[in-house]
């Protein structure tokens, strides 16, 4: 990706016995997100989409891991995010095409 940031991303949906399918192909340019605040924004959007609480405005987030309960405050979360080697790649789209068979 560092040598050639041009990328293609494909999503397919197939309905087995019916022979129906949909396919979307997106093309664009990928780049790593290095800005800490932007990483937090992206992760918060991810958490929100999957039903996790917004830790930037709530006092804490509780997560059950096995039988242990761990409480994570916004400050703790930010410290974890600074230490975790998390890479976030964003894609600036140039083209989106799709096909389907009904």
Is 1 among the domain residues? Answer: no
3-state SS class at 19: coil
Task: Using CB atoms within 10 Å of the CB of residue 55, give its burial: 0 to 12 exposed, 13 to 18 middle, 19+ buried.
Answer: buried
What is the per-residue pLDDT for 53?
A: 56
73 or 91, higher pLDDT: 91
The total domain count for the chain is 1
Does a structural domain hold residue 26? yes
Has residue 67 got a pLDDT over 50? no
* Residue 84 is assigned to a structural domain of this protein: yes
Note whether residue 70 is domain-resident: yes
pLDDT at 66 over 50: no
CA atoms of 94 and 92, how far apart (whole Å)? 7
Phi, psi for residue 86 in degrees, rounded to 5? -90, 125
Model confidence pLDDT, tens digit, residues 3-59: 999 999 999 999 878 889 999 999 999 999 888 778 778 877 877 777 665 555 544
Strand partners, 6: 29
| Domain around 14 | 6-101
> Is the Cα torsion angle 40, 43, 47, 49 positive or negative in sign?
positive
């Amino acid at each position: 990706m560092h040598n050639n940031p041009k990328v293609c991303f494909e999503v397919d949906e197939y309905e087995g016995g019916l022979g129906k399918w949909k396919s979307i192909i997106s093309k664009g340019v990928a780049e790593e997100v290095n800005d800490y605040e932007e990483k937090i924004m992206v992760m918060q959007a991810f958490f929100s989409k999957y039903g996790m609480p917004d830790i930037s405005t709530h006092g804490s987030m509780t997560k059950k891991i096995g039988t242990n309960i761990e409480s994570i405050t916004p400050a703790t979360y930010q410290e974890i995010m600074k230490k975790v080697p998390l890479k976030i790649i964003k894609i600036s789209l140039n083209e989106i095409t799709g096909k389907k068979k009904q």
